[in-house]
Structure 1
Amino acid sequence: MTSQLTTYITLFCTSGILNLYLCIYVYLKRHQYTNIKNSFSLYCLSITIYCFAAAFGLTASNLQEIKLWTIVQYIGMPFSSPLGLLFIMQYLGVKVTKKRVILLLSIPFISLIMVATNDFHHLHYKELVVDPALGAPYSVIEIGIWYLVHGMHTFGCMLAAFLLLILRWKETAKMYRPQIIALMFGQLVPMVTAFLYLIGATPPGFDPVPMVLWLTSILYLWAISSSRLFTVMPIAKNAIFHSISDGVIVLDEENHLIEYNEASKRMFPRLNKTLLGKDFYTIWQDIDEDLEEFSLDKVDTSQEMKFEIEASGKIYQIRTSPLQHGDEKKGLLIILTEITELKRLQSQLEQQAYFDELTQVYNRRAFFQHCGQKLIDAKENQTPLTIILFDIDYFKKVNDTYGHLIGDHLLKHVAKVCHKQIHKNALFARYGGEEFVIAIEGDAATKGVAVANEIRMKIASEPLAVDDLVISITASFGVAQSSGDLDETLTQVLSNADLALYEAKEEGRNRVHVYSEGKQFTS
C-alpha cells in the first residue's frame, strides 16, 4: 500500500469518525434539541457509512472486493444528499411532509438496489473494472443510464439545500448567520468536489468526496458548539415566532427591518419581504403617517396607538425592547398587541361608571371627579370657576300625571337641549333626579348667568312632544362662583349654587339666581 493510498484512507476514516461522533453526540443530547436532531443524525449516519465503506474500498485487492465495498457505500452515499436537504428544510422551517420524504428517498433506495444487482442489468455501471494502469483498489467505470439519474438527484439535492440557505440569508438575523454560513459550506464543499470528480479534475480511480467531508463535519461541530445550532436557530421561529398572536417585528442595530411574524403581516398587510433591509421609519411612514407619536428611541416602553389600517379602526399597544448580547445592543424588538376589544370593554365600563344610563351625560360621580380637578386648576391659575345648578320645574307633577316613562323622556329631552347649548369646554352632568349641573372654568358668575338664561329660554321654547302629548317645560337655575380661597371645596361651591337655586324656586321658578356673599339676587 502506497503512502498516497494511506493518506486517502486516513482522510476517509477521519471524515467517517467525525460524522460518527456528530451522530452520537447529537443523539446523546437529543433531549436538549428540537426535532431537527433526527434528520441531522440520519444525515451524519449516512455519511459515516459512506466514508468508512469508501476507506475499506481502498483496501480492496480485486474487483469482487471493490464491488462489495461499492454496494456498502450505496447504503449511505445516495441517502446523504436528500437527508441533508431534509435537514436544511426543517432548519429553515420549510414544511416537510411524508410525501416529500418518500419522493426524496425513493431514488436512493432504487440506486442501492441497482448497484447491488448491477451484474444482471448493467443499468448503473455499464462497466466496472480495475484500473489497468493503477491496479486495485483503483477502478474505472463506464456510467449507465441510472447512474445519470442517481447523479442528477444527488447533485440536485445539494444544490437545492444550498440555494434555500442563500435565499434565507437576507431575512436571517445576524445572530443566526454564522449557522447559515456553516450549513452553506457543508453543502457547497461536497457539491463542488463531486462536480470536479464528474469532469475528471480529481485524482483518478476513486471517489474523492469522502476525503473532504471531514471539513463539513468540523463546520457542523463549530456551529453546534459556538452558535448553538439546534438550540437557538430559525426553526424555533416557525414553531413559536409565527404562532404567537402578537405581532413581532425585529430590527437590527441600525433600525433596519430583518424579520416579522405572520401576526404582523395580518395587522399590516403592506408588510412584505421586499421591505427587508429597509429603514423602519420609512416603512412606518407607509403604515401610519403620525410618526411623532412613536419613537424607536424609547426602548423598554409601552405605547398605545390607534391605526386606521384600511378603515379597520384597530387599536394596538406597542412595546419596544432591546436585543442585547451582553452590554452590546444587537437590535430592537417591537411587539404589537391588538387591544381593540380591551379598549371597547374599558370604554363600556367607563360609560357605565361615569355616564348616566338614561341621559348619556356625565353622572354625579364623574362630575365630582372632573370638576374637582377644575377647581384645583382654577386655584392654581387664579381664575374663577362657575357652577350652574338647575332642576326641572314641577317634574314630580309630570311623573304623577303621565307616568315615569314620560318622565324619563322629559329628562332625556332636557339633557339633549342643554347639550346643544353648552360650550364643549364646559362640564355638564346629571346631578341626581331632575337636577343637572354645569361647570364653566375661567368665567365669572356674570358669564354663568348669561349661559343659564340661554339654556332656560331654550328649554322653555322647546316643549316635549311624545305621541299625542305636548308638555311645556321650564327650569330654575342657581349660579355660584368660586371665591378663590385656597381652602374652599367643591362641595361648598355646589352648596352656594344650591342656595341660589332654592331662592329661584321660592320666587316663582323659571328664573336664574346667583349666589353672592351670603345673599342671592334674581337675574
Structure 2
Amino acid sequence: MGSQVDVYITLVAMSGVLNLFLGIYAFIHRKDIPNARTFLIYIIALSLYIFGFAFELASDSLAEIKRWIVVEYMGMPFAAVFGLLLIFHYLGKRVPRFAVAAMFVIPVITLLMVATNDAHHLFYKSIYLRTSSPSPLVDISIGEWYIVHGAYTFACLLAGAVMLIRRWPQSRGTFRPQHVTLTFSQIIPMVSSFLYLMGATPQGIDPVPIVLSITSCMYFWAIASSRMLTIVPIAKEIIFESMREGVIVLDSARRIVDYNPALAVLMPEAGNWMVGRKLPEAWLKLTGTSFPAGETIDGLEEELEWTTGGRKLTSLIRTSQVLGKGGETLGTLLLLIDVTEQRRLQDQLRQLAYTDVLTGIANRAQFFHLGKLMLKEAAASRSFCSFLLFDLDFFKRINDTYGHDVGDQALVHVAKVCKRSLPPRAVFARYGGEEFVIGLPGASMKEAGEVAERLRLALSGEPLRMQSDLLQITASFGVAEYAGGSGTLESLLRVADAALYEAKRNGRDAVMLAAATAESAE
C-alpha cells in the first residue's frame, strides 16, 4: 500500500509540474493571450489544489494533513469558477461584474469552512486516519456545506461543458483544438469527481489531481496545433462567417488567428496553414507581393493589386483595432473589400475622359493638360520643347468617295503608323477631326522637324489597305518651338497651325518649320 501511495504522489506531482509549465508559458506570453489574467489565475488555482493534495498524501500526521487540505481548498473551488469564466469569455458571453463577484461567494465560504472546520464541523463531520492503512491516508464523513460545495462545483463544470457542446456545430476548424481542450477540461474532472464520490476509485483516493494532467497535456496540444494560446476567438463567428468581405484576424503580435470563408474568393490559397504565421509571411505566399505596411498597420487604408488564377484583383485594405472591455488591444481586423469591378469602371471612365475613343490616343483635353506640364518642365530646366500639328490631305475627299467608315479607318491607320515612329516621351493626341498634335519634350526645332519628316515619309510609304484597293494617305505638318520666355501652349499651337497652313499652300505632303516665335504670335 505504501508503494502504491508513493506512485500516486509521483503522478500527482507530475500533474502539478505540467500545470506550472503551462502557467509559466502563459505568463511569458501574457501580452499575446486575450484574457491572460483569468487563465493565469485558473492555472495557479489548479496548481494549489494539485500540490496541496500531493503534500497531503506525503504527510505523516492528521494535523499536517488538515493543513494541506486548507491549501487544496485555496485552489480547487476557485478553479471551477475561473474555468467557467474562461468559457463565458470564449463564447463571447458578457458576465456583469456583480455576477462575477456572486460566483465566488460559495468558494470563499468553502475556504473559510475548511479552515475553521474543527470549530463547527459543517464541512467535514469527522476526518480521521485509516487504521487499516500503513500510510497516513484519511477517511471523511461529509457535512452539510460539503454537499453545497460539491453541488456548486459540479454545476460549474456541467454548465461549462453543456455550453461548449451546444456551441460545437458553430465552431470553426481554426478554433476546434481550443474548443476540444476547454470541453474536456470540464468533463474530465466532473466525471472523476463523480466516480470518487461513488467510491469507485482505487483505495478511495481522489483521482482529480491526476486527471488534471490530461487537461494540461491537452492545453499543450492546443498550443502546438494552433502555434499560440488563443483562448478567445476575437470575432463573433456568426457575423464573421456571413460577411461578404474577406477578413483576416490578427492577434496583438500580428499573427493570423482566423479568417472567414469570403477570403478564399479573393485568395484561393488561403487555408489553415496561415494560422499562427506573421501577416507579412503569409501575405507574400498568398499574393506573391510584400505587404505594404510595416509593424504599425493600425488605420491602414490602401488599395492593393495582385494576380490569382490569371485574374488581376484589386482590393481596398482596411484595418481596425479590436478592443477589450477595458480598452486594451486584443488584436486587429484586416478587411479586404473587392473593388476590382469598381476600379475597372473607373479606369474606363478615366479613359473616356482623356482618350480619343476612335484612335485610342490622347484626346484634346488630355493633350492640353500634359502639354502645359511639358512647358513648365522646359521653363524650369531651361530646355527646348517643340510641338507638331498635322492634318490629313484631302480628307474630305476620302469621306465623300469612300464613306465615313473608311474615313474612320484612315484616322485609326494614321494613329497606328505615327505611334510606331514617335520617341518614347512624345505626347500624341487627336486635336480634332482629321487634325493631330504632338508634343516633343527636350526637342529643338530642328529635331522636331526631323521627327515630322519621318512621320510624313512613314504615312506616304504605308497606304491603307482596303478590300480591293490601297488608299494613299499623306499629311501636312507645322512645327513650332518653345525656347524659353513667356510663351503659352495656346500661342505655340497657333504658330504651329500657321506653319501647317503654309505647308498646305505649298502643295501639301510637306513639313514647314515656323519662322515666328510664340511671343510674336501673342
Give the TM-score, by structure 2 length.
Answer: 0.60
Shift of 1:302: 1.8
CA contact (8 A) 1:378 1:384 kept: yes
- Aligned pair in 2 of structure 1 residues 464, 169: CA closer, same or farther (>3 Å)? same
Deviations 1:224-271 (A, max 9, x none): xxxxxxxx9749622211211111112223221112111123322322
What amino acid maps onto 1:254 in structure 2?
A: A
Q: Determine the C-alpha separation between the residues in 2 that align with 1:86 and 1:361.
A: 70
Q: Determine the C-alpha separation between the residues in 2 that align with 1:293 and 1:514.
A: 50
Partner of 1:417: 417
Partner of 2:177: 167
What amino acid maps onto 1:88 in structure 2?
A: L
SS in 1 for 2:425: coil
Greater CA deviation, 290-299 or 383-392? Answer: 290-299
Partner of 1:435: 435
SS in 2 for 1:479: strand
CA contact (8 A) 1:387 1:439 kept: yes
Matched, 1:391 2:391: yes
CA contact (8 A) 2:388 2:437 kept: yes
Shift of 1:294: 4.6
CA contact (8 A) 2:387 2:440 kept: yes
Partner of 2:408: 408
Shift of 1:393: 0.6
Shift of 1:275: 2.6
Shift of 1:457: 0.3
What are the equivalent positions in structure 2 for 1:118-133 lying under 5 Å apart? Answer: none
Q: Determine the C-alpha separation between the residues in 1 that align with 2:234 and 2:299.
A: 27
Shift of 1:293: 4.1
Shift of 1:421: 1.5
Q: Determine the C-alpha separation between the residues in 1 that align with 2:238 and 2:94.
A: 11
SS in 1 for 2:312: coil
CA contact (8 A) 1:196 1:202 kept: no
What amino acid maps onto 1:451 in structure 2?
A: V
Matched, 1:364 2:440: no
Q: Determine the C-alpha separation between the residues in 2 that align with 1:184 and 1:420.
A: 74
> Where has structure 1 moved over 6 Å in runs of 4 or more?
33-36, 78-83, 163-166
What are the equivalent positions in structure 2 for 1:373-384 lying under 5 Å apart? Answer: 373-384=373-384
What amino acid maps onto 2:352 in structure 1?
A: Q
Q: Determine the C-alpha separation between the residues in 1 that align with 2:202 and 2:503.
A: 113
Partner of 1:463: 463
Partner of 1:39: none
What are the equivalent positions in structure 2 for 1:482-501 lying under 5 Å apart? Answer: 482-485=482-485, 487-501=486-500
- Aligned pair in 2 of structure 1 residues 200, 379: CA closer, same or farther (>3 Å)? same
Partner of 1:249: 248
Q: Determine the C-alpha separation between the residues in 2 that align with 1:164 and 1:447.
A: 67
- Aligned pair in 2 of structure 1 residues 437, 208: CA closer, same or farther (>3 Å)? same
Shift of 1:79: 12
- Aligned pair in 2 of structure 1 residues 338, 196: CA closer, same or farther (>3 Å)? same
Greater CA deviation, 370-379 or 320-329? Answer: 320-329
Shift of 1:456: 0.6
Matched, 1:88 2:149: no
Q: Determine the C-alpha separation between the residues in 1 that align with 2:432 and 2:256.
A: 56
Q: What is the aligned residue count?
A: 376
Shift of 1:410: 0.9
Q: Determine the C-alpha separation between the residues in 2 that align with 1:264 and 1:194.
A: 46
- Aligned pair in 2 of structure 1 residues 186, 356: CA closer, same or farther (>3 Å)? same
CA contact (8 A) 1:91 1:233 kept: no
Shift of 1:478: 1.1
Q: Determine the C-alpha separation between the residues in 2 that align with 1:274 and 1:488.
A: 64
What is the RMSD computed on CA atoms of the aligned residues?
Answer: 5.0
What are the equivalent positions in structure 2 for 1:1-80 lying under 5 Å apart? Answer: none
Partner of 1:127: none
Partner of 2:257: 258
Q: Determine the C-alpha separation between the residues in 1 that align with 2:197 and 2:174.
A: 24
Partner of 2:38: none
- Aligned pair in 2 of structure 1 residues 235, 449: CA closer, same or farther (>3 Å)? closer
CA contact (8 A) 1:314 1:338 kept: yes
Q: Determine the C-alpha separation between the residues in 2 that align with 1:518 and 1:508.
A: 24
Shift of 1:191: 3.4
- Aligned pair in 2 of structure 1 residues 385, 83: CA closer, same or farther (>3 Å)? same
CA contact (8 A) 2:288 2:306 kept: no
Q: Determine the C-alpha separation between the residues in 1 that align with 2:356 and 2:162.
A: 65
Partner of 2:286: 287
CA contact (8 A) 1:93 1:234 kept: no
Shift of 1:312: 2.1
What are the equivalent positions in structure 2 for 1:208-357 lying under 5 Å apart? Answer: 234=233, 237-291=236-290, 293-324=292-323, 329-357=329-357
Q: Determine the C-alpha separation between the residues in 1 that align with 2:158 and 2:327.
A: 42
Shift of 1:462: 0.9
Q: Determine the C-alpha separation between the residues in 2 that align with 1:460 and 1:238.
A: 70
SS in 2 for 1:473: coil
CA contact (8 A) 1:91 1:235 kept: no
Deviations 1:418-471 (A, max 9, x none): 122123321111110000111121222222111111111000011112122321
Q: Determine the C-alpha separation between the residues in 1 that align with 2:373 and 2:169.
A: 57
Deviations 1:168-197 (A, max 9, x none): 379xxxxxxxxx97x775545423312434
What amino acid maps onto 2:252 in structure 1?
A: E
Shift of 1:384: 2.3
SS in 1 for 2:438: strand
Shift of 1:491: 1.4
Matched, 1:514 2:513: yes
SS in 1 for 2:280: helix
What amino acid maps onto 1:167 in structure 2?
A: P
- Aligned pair in 2 of structure 1 residues 34, 267: CA closer, same or farther (>3 Å)? same
Give the TM-score, by structure 1 length.
Answer: 0.60
Q: Determine the C-alpha separation between the residues in 2 that align with 1:79 and 1:322.
A: 36
What amino acid maps onto 1:318 in structure 2?
A: I
Q: Determine the C-alpha separation between the residues in 1 that align with 2:284 and 2:292.
A: 12
What amino acid maps onto 1:320 in structure 2?
A: T
CA contact (8 A) 1:89 1:95 kept: no
Deviations 1:34-66 (A, max 9, x none): 899xxxxxxx9xxxxxxxxxxxxxxxxxxxxxx
Q: Determine the C-alpha separation between the residues in 2 that align with 1:379 and 1:199.
A: 100
- Aligned pair in 2 of structure 1 residues 164, 403: CA closer, same or farther (>3 Å)? closer
Shift of 1:403: 1.6
SS in 2 for 1:291: coil
Q: Determine the C-alpha separation between the residues in 2 that align with 1:196 and 1:356.
A: 88
What amino acid maps onto 1:517 in structure 2?
A: A
Greater CA deviation, 316-325 or 372-381? Answer: 316-325
Partner of 2:473: 473
CA contact (8 A) 1:197 1:208 kept: no
Shift of 1:327: 7.2
Shift of 1:413: 0.9
Deviations 1:97-116 (A, max 9, x none): xxxxxxxxxxxxxxxxxxxx
